[in-house]
Every structure is written in C-alpha cells, then in structure tokens.
Amino acid sequence: METFERHESNVRSYVRAFPEMFVSAKGSRLVGRSGRSYIDFFAGAGALNYGHNDEGMKRRLLDYVAGDGIAHSLDMATEAKAAFIERFHRVVLAPRGMAHKMLFPGPTGTNTVESALKLARKVTGRKKVVSFTNAFHGMTLGSLAVTGNAFKRDGAGLPLNDTFFMPYDGYMGEDFDTLAYFAQTLEDGGSGLDLPAACIVETVQGEGGINAASMAWLRRLQDICRRWEMLLIVDDVQAGCGRTGTFFSFEPAGLDPDIVCLSKSLSGYGLPMSLTLVKPEYDRFAPGEHNGTFRGNNHAFVTGTEALRFWEDDGLEKEVARKAETVRAGFARIAGMAGGLAPELRGRGLMQGIALNSGEAARAICTEAFRRGLVLETSGPDGEVVKCLCPLTISDEELRQGLAILEEAFATVAAGPVRTAA
Ligand code: PMP
C-alpha cells in the first residue's frame, strides 16, 4: 500500500475503501496477496456482469493474442470488429426490432455519453439538454454538466452550461408528479426553459442512489420527448447489459430510445469498450466528425462477441430474476433488523440497494463487510446507499454467503455508536 500512498495521486479512491493488494480473480471472487478470498458484490462498478475471467472469453482472447490478431485499429475494418457487430445485431438489436446504427466512440462510459450529447445537439440544432436530479453520466465536461452531484461538479472548475435538471421519479416524494412539472415548463412560455435538444436518463440511477424510475414514468418521459421533438437518450452504461434483468434496462417499459449509451459490461471481460446506438435518421455525424484513437479495442470486441453467448436465449434473464428475489429477501431481512438506520429498499434486478439515514453508517457497513470478506460499495449523494452489484453469474451459494456477511456487518454497525443524520 505504501507504493500507492507515496506515488499515486490523492484522487485515488477505491484503494482506500478496499485496502488489499489484489492478485487474482475468478467468477465472483477476488483474491488478495494474503491469500484471502473476497466475495465481489461490486463487480467493477458494473463492468463485470459476467464475473471475473470468464473461461469462454479468456480462451477466445488468448487464442486471438497468440495468433497475433490485430490489437489496435482505430476504426479500420477488422474481423474481430465485424464479428462483434454481426453478433450484436443478430442477438441484441434484431430480436428487439431495433434498427439503430452502432457508433463506436472512445472506450469509456463518459465517451459514449459525450457522443450522444454532441449528436443530439447537432441533430436538433438546440443547445439545452435536460437531465435529472441525482443523475450520473461521467466525469468529462459534457457528461459532468448533466450530472447532479455537487462534489463532482465542483471539480470542473468551469461553468457547466446548457443543461437543465428536472426532478427524477420520486424526487419530490411519492405523491408528486415530477413529469407534470416538466411538461408544464415546456408548455408554458413563461417557464424560462428553452426547448431542449434531448433528455438523458438512467432508468435506475446507479451512482445517484439506486433510484429506479417506474415504467409508467419512463413511458411518459418518452411521450414528452416525442411531443416536443426532443431526443430521448437512455444512459444504460451501468443499468444495461443485463444488470436489471433484461439486456437493456428499458425493455420492461417498452421504450424506443433515440440514442442508447452502453459501456461497462459490454466487453464482458472488464476491457474498455463503449457503444452509442443511434436511430438511423439521427446518424448525422460526417465521417470523422467525432473520433478517438481507442475506438477499436479489438481485444474487447473478441471478448464482447463471446459475452453475447449469454443472450442467445433467456437463461441469464431468468437467473437474474431469481437471484434478484434472493437479494430482495435478504435485504428485507437486513432492513428488518436495522430499524434505527431507517432502511429503505431500492432498485431492481441485480442493481439493488439499501438506503440509510446516514452516509457514515453506510460506509461503516461497507468497511465491516470488507473486513469479513465482502467487497461492496455505497452510492447516493451522501454515500448513504449500500448497493449490491454482484455478478449476474454469481452462484447461489456465494450470493447467500455474501448476504450473510452483509447481515453481520449491518448488525455490528446498527448495534454500534455510529452517529446518524436524523
Ligand atoms: N453513465 C453511467 C450511468 C455510469 O454509471 C457511469 C460510470 N459509473 C458513466 C456513465 C461513466 O462511465 P466511465 O466511468 O466509464 O466514464
């Protein structure tokens, strides 16, 4: 640890929460130098939905590397890229009736968001983009401008302009119709809201506190976008690739977004890769108008193609639904014994959290859990939500063990002297 303390920037963060030198990982487990094995309920912040070092993906990657397959290619044609595009079209887009074009931006989540915002502004000729309270879309300036978190925004050092925040579903309490407010501001010439180019939304807010919008709310948001000819951008960077149970998180709502942002688990192996899906009528960048050196991560195409085997049938979907119930039941049991922390269950699929009345308590629970061999993180504006992002492929036994550790950690903190905000 001394190496990191001495040489690495102060900005490092997860290394502080998980003070262990990790040496290997398999499936839902991480192994530290001490030989200690940890259950992983963090899964690379959603980048490892299929677990660590999946055998099938590893084999394909090793063969590709051993055969001197192209590693880097910008956006030149490679067989690895063609194979990914074809399988993604056949397994994901075509069965869902999606005619979207595939735009490959730089390799990260914020790269796909930047491309989406830029394209929406170009297509509509308008500047403003509406995003929602507690949204998180990335750390580069455009993405940060549609991100709610004040601490992260302050880091920009510049005005973050041309965005407008509307209350997310539930933000004003259960009985407040947040979209009625949004719709009214659009109708009313005195609201001060210039007609936006687009709305960008997460169906479940990952970093913002595992807030899940209702399907009805999402459908109405789409209706509002259609009525005012604003593009609907779904940021599925964290909630996509099966995290909520279906490949795209918006499937149960029946949405037809104009632009979809994907990254994190797209390569399936933790390799950097992202993809912006764009309806053909909005595919309006001129050749090279948006680019990036690392759009062609062929190793990610190889593992990403293999990862799509999980979507050839509905096996994984069913598994996620079943495990989501296990998490829900485990969380309900935990919530029942942590009354003083005012626990509230949030999320859907394998993207669930327990919101508490204290960020300090949530952090203490994660620290306790880590001491007991479970890696998991907090989210929310004050870090007050303990969140479970276990691999979708986790075994029943590991899921049960992880929940048992979490229960112990909760019991320890709930019984202890941690100060609560209430
Ligand atoms: N959008 C969402 C919804 C995210 O959760 C994240 C990352 N947490 C991003 C965008 C940014 O992704 P990256 O960190 O790869 O830039």
Give the integer Cα–Cα distance in Å for 239 and 210: 10
Which residue's CA lies nearest to atom 14 of ligand 1? 109
Amino acid at 320: V
Give the architecture (CATH level 2) of 58-311: 3-Layer(aba) Sandwich (3.40)
Which residue's CA lies nearest to atom 10 of ligand 1? 137
Given the CA of residue 143, which atom of ligand 1 is nearest to it?
10
Distance 128 CA to ligand 1 centre (A): 21
Distance 137 CA to ligand 1 centre (A): 5
CB 79 within 8 A of CB 87: no
Given the CA of residue 139, which atom of ligand 1 is nearest to it?
16
Residues 220-255 pLDDT 10s: 999 999 999 999 999 999 999 999 999 999 999 999
pLDDT of residue 418: 56
Closest CA to 201 of 175, 224, 173, 177: 224
CB 148 within 8 A of CB 132: yes
Choosing from 141, 143, 236, 238 the residue with most ligand 1 atoms within 8 A of its CB, the one to mutate for a pocket test is 238
Q: Which residues contact 380 (CB under 8 A, 6 or more apart)?
A: 134, 208, 209, 210, 353, 355, 359, 362
Please check whether the domain covering 2-54+315-415 is classified as CATH 3.40.50.720: no
Pairing of strands 163-166, 129-132: parallel
CB 59 within 8 A of CB 49: no
pLDDT of residue 339: 81
Which residue's CA lies nearest to atom 1 of ligand 1? 137
CB 147 within 8 A of CB 213: no
Q: Which residues contact 289 (CB under 8 A, 6 or more apart)?
A: none
Torsion sign, CA atoms 373, 243, 396, 353: positive
Q: Reduce the DSSP state of residue 252 to 3 states and report it.
A: helix
Amino acid at 36: R
pLDDT of residue 422: 41
Residue 291: φ, ψ to 5°: -150, -165
Give mean pLDDT in consecutive 10-residue pieces for the chain, a chain of 422 residues.
Answer: 96 96 98 96 98 98 98 97 98 98 97 98 98 98 98 96 97 94 96 96 98 98 98 98 98 98 98 98 98 95 98 98 98 91 96 97 97 98 97 98 97 76 42
DSSP 8-state assignment for residue 107: S
Given the CA of residue 239, which atom of ligand 1 is nearest to it?
3
Given the CA of residue 205, which atom of ligand 1 is nearest to it?
3
Closest CA to 386 of 322, 343, 330, 419: 343
Closest CA to 289 of 102, 119, 107: 119
End-to-end CA distance of the chain: give it in Å, rounded.
36
Neighbours of 283 (CB within 10 A): 13
Choosing from 111, 264, 271, 379 the residue with most ligand 1 atoms within 8 A of its CB, the one to mutate for a pocket test is 264
Give the integer Cα–Cα distance in Å for 212 and 204: 4
Distance 109 CA to ligand 1 centre (A): 5
Give the integer Cα–Cα distance in Å for 348 and 351: 6
Distance 417 CA to ligand 1 centre (A): 34
Query: Between the CA atoms of 112, 116, 117 and 123, what dihedral angle is there, to the nearest 10 degrees?
Result: 160
Residue 386: φ, ψ to 5°: -85, 120
Sequence length of the chain is 422
Helical pair 298-307 and 55-66, crossing angle rounded to 10 deg: 150
CB 236 within 8 A of CB 260: yes
Distance 110 CA to ligand 1 centre (A): 6
Q: Where are the domains of the chain?
A: 2-54+315-415, 58-311
For residue 280, what is the enclosing H or E element? Answer: none
Residues 143-183 pLDDT 10s: 999 999 999 999 999 999 999 999 999 999 988 999 999 99
Helix then strand then coil, % of the chain, to nearest 5: 40, 15, 40
Given the CA of residue 207, which atom of ligand 1 is nearest to it?
5
Burial class of residue 345 (count of CB atoms within 10 Å of its CB; 0-12, 13-18, 19+): middle
Choosing from 137, 249, 385 the residue with most ligand 1 atoms within 8 A of its CB, the one to mutate for a pocket test is 137
Pocket lining for ligand 1, CB < 6 angstroms: 45, 108-110, 113, 136-138, 202, 206-207, 235, 237-238, 263
CB 320 within 8 A of CB 396: no
Give the integer Cα–Cα distance in Å for 77 and 15: 38
Q: Reduce the DSSP state of residue 214 to 3 states and report it.
A: coil
Amino acid at 248: F
What residue spans of 47-166 are helical by DSSP H?
55-66, 79-88, 109-124, 141-145, 150-154
Residues 82-118 pLDDT 10s: 999 999 999 999 999 999 999 999 999 999 999 999 9
Distance 220 CA to ligand 1 centre (A): 25
Distance 338 CA to ligand 1 centre (A): 31
Distance 412 CA to ligand 1 centre (A): 32
Give the integer Cα–Cα distance in Å for 276 and 115: 7
pLDDT of residue 338: 83
Pairing of strands 374-375, 37-40: parallel
Given the CA of residue 235, which atom of ligand 1 is nearest to it?
3
Choosing from 131, 141, 263, 294 the residue with most ligand 1 atoms within 8 A of its CB, the one to mutate for a pocket test is 263
